[in-house]
Structure 1
Amino acid sequence: MGSGRVSLQRRKEYESEMAFFRAWMQQTVESLGFSPGSRSWCYLFEDAHIITKGDFTKATKWLADARKSFDSDGKPLIPRRFVAKDDARQMTGADVYDKEKTARDYINSEIRDMQARARQWWPASFWKYQHSYPILWTEKADLVKLFEPAMHPAIKRFTGKGWADINSRANVVQEVVWARDNNLEPVILYCGDHDPAGVQISDMIRSNLRPIAEVLLAEQDIPMSYEFSRALYSMEGLEIVRFGLNTDFIEDNDLLWIDGLETSSGRDLNDPGHPDHNKPHVQQYLAEHGPRKVEANALITRPEAAQQLITDVLDQYIDADGVERWEAENREASKEATEKVEHLIKMLTFLDTQGWLYSGHKLEAAAEIHRAKTLPSGPEIDV
């Protein structure tokens, strides 16, 4: 609204503009299927020609301020739900209790849930008919959200945010070990920033995982031969594929290049005074691409291209015929379970019509009468 005293007319104009802006943000959220983080919103603003790349820092601060400011009706200028929460600062804890007020309501609810679970019973693992075990490793959390609609839920994915911490790396190693132990070939699919560190990180993943694998191997206490253990925990033969962001994809989809190679220290890698300026990977990057970069968040402006990107790479590792066999086996199992539950419900309905189901002493008496014919032999059964 500008600085200094704001006229009533200008305030009304501003709030009218914000109403249109909120509608655009809501439409964007609904189109994406999730709320982007602040940095990703900057790319969406830039792609919509609302700001330029030089306004990112100011736009991020404005987003935070607008979520704490109110219009004349007392409503936030921008709803908090439009911007993704930082999971690292998310409040946890929950009061868990059953909502049914009576035992009969609770039992009926459990029966309905049992029906639903039977229809959804899929006992065969997705990996039963697969040969490869892809693991998605991304630089930014919003990339996972972008890719997920085109991914099967069984595919493990996580956000590295640069050099992943020890626990995250341990999780990756354990997934690699599990895959090999189940006769699957693990492969890490990495997508991150297009800058010197982002391009290098995919080459450094192996050395990043190796010491963690050695520690986990030393800690494991399951009986197996030394050779077999080394094969499971070895990172040398692990396939690592960097599928983005790459120059061709950036140019084909007209993603935003940002001038400069500023690092977390606030200094620019293009500055000869930067301690990493003369490192081979930095010099090679500068020679090929110049002092500019593309952050992985830029994909937020091209959701369809992002999903096609992950689809293309997964098609190389997911066996489509194996997926069909997995679905067929589980559909048959689900059908069988549903039939068994329907039989059980018919029996419970009969017990209820006789007044036995919710009467403990009547049910016990009925069980005593029919015990020899209806219950299996063996130790005393708690009816």
Structure 2
Amino acid sequence: MSRDEFTRAWITENAIDVLDRYQKGILTIRALHYQLVSMGLTNSIKHYKRVVAAMIEARWAGLVDFDAFSDLDRTMVGKTDYEQTNLDDSIDKAKEQIQAWMDFYCKNRWENQPYYPEVFIEKKALQGVFQSPCMRYDVALGACKGYPSLTFLNEATQRFREAEERGKMPVILYFGDYDPSGEDIPRAIEENIRKLGCESIEVRRIALMKHQVLDWNLPPAPAKETDSRTANWDGLGQVELDAVMPEKLQRLCTDAIEELFDRSLYDELNEQESEERSEYRAKLREFVSSI
């Protein structure tokens, strides 16, 4: 296709088809851009800006929902409560919570596992993609936003050292861009965490790797000249993590977590959980009766 064929109408029509395949808030506009690239759109800044403009226009026109995309870099913290409090509603809610506590008892999924894993991603914008598999396996998820700050790494090191002291092997599953910095960030993370006092930390770079770029035919762009590591890098070219289909990233994440997870140990944990649940309920009933 020629450049003129990638009009806003073409982008909008194909974008709607793509968005229909995902839950709201999974895709970023950058990820949408890469899906359109796989359909013929040129991987250029001009075309990316055209996608952004088309999606602004489509949302105002009612063709695309305003909450179709994730933008976790601009989320609010906390909530301003203003609803009037209703006593009867509060009592009903409290009863539901008490019943929920009576029914709820579960062991921590990783308590008898040898590993303590966390998932680190280079970009906060992709948090919505990784959140589902991480929540399913009760694994912490953190966005580095490029090279992570020492504050971020120090807080992580404290968690890893605590896990280490309890006999766990701390592991970071890292997902980042395929470019000079993307390849170097995992090294820097591991080096700094070791300096901060967790010698046993292991960082596993899961994506993006050269073989993945080739196998999935991902569109490379020239590495950034502003990146000081570009001059000494012999990679294929820059490929953003956003270029990978969200379902592939979720599968990669799930597979990486499952590789660490011992199912036989989890079966033992579930048996122990069943044995302890009846005692848990009895103690709660006893406590509620005593209030």
TM-score when normalising by structure 2: 0.81
1:285 pairs with one of 217, 233, 258: 233
Distance 2:233 2:125 in 1: 25
Q: Secondary structure, in 3 states, of the residue corresponding to 1:189?
A: strand
1:306 pairs with one of 246, 249, 253: 249
Is structure 2 residue 132 aligned with structure 1 residue 149?
Answer: yes
Worse overlay, 176-185 or 321-330: 321-330
Correspondences of 1:243-258 after superposition (within 5 Å): 243-257=206-220
**What do residues 208-232 of structure 1 show as CA deviations (whole Å, max 9, x unaligned)?**
3356x2xxxxxxxxxxxxxxxxxxx
1:78 pairs with one of 39, 55, 64: 64
Distance 1:202 1:106 in 2: 48
**What do residues 176-219 of structure 1 show as CA deviations (whole Å, max 9, x unaligned)?**
112112211111221111011111111221333356x2xxxxxx
Is structure 2 residue 115 aligned with structure 1 residue 132?
Answer: yes
2:3 equivalent in structure 1: none
Is structure 2 residue 291 aligned with structure 1 residue 327?
Answer: no
Q: Secondary structure, in 3 states, of the residue corresponding to 2:146?
A: coil
Distance 2:77 2:282 in 1: 42
Distance 1:17 1:295 in 2: 20
1:43 equivalent in structure 2: 34
Is structure 2 residue 176 aligned with structure 1 residue 192?
Answer: yes
CA 1:97–1:174 in structure 2 vs 1: closer, same or farther (change >3 Å)?
farther
1:28 pairs with one of 12, 21, 24: 21
CA 1:120–1:297 in structure 2 vs 1: closer, same or farther (change >3 Å)?
same
> In the alignment, residue 35 of structure 1 is paired with which amino acid?
I
Worse overlay, 239-248 or 77-86: 77-86
1:53 equivalent in structure 2: 43
CA 1:107–1:332 in structure 2 vs 1: closer, same or farther (change >3 Å)?
farther
Q: Secondary structure, in 3 states, of the residue corresponding to 2:259?
A: coil
Q: Which runs of 5+ in 1 are unaligned?
A: 1-13, 71-75, 214-232, 263-267, 348-374, 376-382
Larger radius of gyration: 1
How far 1:26 moved relative to its partner?
A: 4.1
**What do residues 98-130 of structure 1 show as CA deviations (whole Å, max 9, x unaligned)?**
85443xx543432232112222222x3323211
CA 1:331–1:78 in structure 2 vs 1: closer, same or farther (change >3 Å)?
same
Q: Secondary structure, in 3 states, of the residue corresponding to 1:162?
A: coil
> In the alignment, residue 59 of structure 1 is paired with which amino acid?
V
How far 1:91 moved relative to its partner?
A: 5.8
Q: Does the 8 A contact of 1:253 with 1:302 survive in 2?
A: no
TM-score when normalising by structure 1: 0.63
Distance 1:16 1:283 in 2: 38
How far 1:44 moved relative to its partner?
A: 2.1
Q: Secondary structure, in 3 states, of the residue corresponding to 1:126?
A: coil
Worse overlay, 241-250 or 150-159: 150-159
Distance 1:325 1:98 in 2: 47
Q: Does the 8 A contact of 2:115 with 2:168 survive in 1?
A: yes
> In the alignment, residue 245 of structure 1 is paired with which amino acid?
L
The alignment of Structure 1 onto Structure 2 pairs a total of residues equal to 281
How far 1:298 moved relative to its partner?
A: 1.2
Q: Secondary structure, in 3 states, of the residue corresponding to 2:129?
A: helix
Is structure 2 residue 239 aligned with structure 1 residue 294?
Answer: yes
Q: Which runs of 5+ in 2 are unaligned?
A: 1-7
Distance 1:52 1:87 in 2: 26
